Amino acid sequence: MLPPGAEESTHSSNVCVLMNSLCFSHDFNKTDFVIWKMTEFGDDRSWTKFFTFSYHNLQVNLNSRFVYSWLKLKALHLSEDGDTIVFASCLHNQAILYNLRTNRVLESRVNKKICWYSIKDYVESLVSTC
């Protein structure tokens, strides 16, 4: 079961793991990128909105239908202190480093184009065997 309202917006939707929690991300109204977190694994009612990022703050310009059709963002990593999140941007073939305290994009040292369209997360298990 998807988080509330996520059924209407499947563009740029993705499942990922951030800070050992199952997360679901998606576009919202072509203005924001939303990440939901499942607080109780397996409980469909435990989805809580984790983050909302405006595309403006992420420096993603959606000025045309063509650009929007190529928009694919994927949350890759949230720092241990929770200050920085790393996104893969298929549109710009780059990593986006975003500081959550200042709501600003940080300069990335990745200077080569990277094809992010087939990037996958791997987590051995989200379920404890103990």
Q: What is the pLDDT of residues 37-85, one digit of tens each?
A: 999 988 989 999 999 999 889 887 766 555 555 567 889 899 999 999 9
Let me know if residue 20 belongs to a domain: yes
Provide the residue count of the chain: 130
Rounded to the nearest 5 percent, the helix, strand and coil shares of the chain are 10, 40, 55
Let me know if residue 14 belongs to a domain: yes
Helices and strands of the chain, counted as H and E runs: 1, 8
Question: Taking the model in full, what pTM does it have?
Answer: 0.79
Number of independent structural domains in the chain: 1
Let me know if residue 126 belongs to a domain: no
Let me know if residue 101 belongs to a domain: yes
Let me know if residue 36 belongs to a domain: yes
- CA–centroid distance for 91 within its chain: 14
Whether the predicted pLDDT of 96 surpasses 90: no
18, 36, 120 from 65: Cα distances, Å: 30, 26, 26
Domain housing 66:
6-106
Task: Report the distance separating Cα 11 and Cα 27, nearest Å.
Answer: 6
For residues 98 and 53, the answer to whether their CB atoms sit within 8 Å is yes
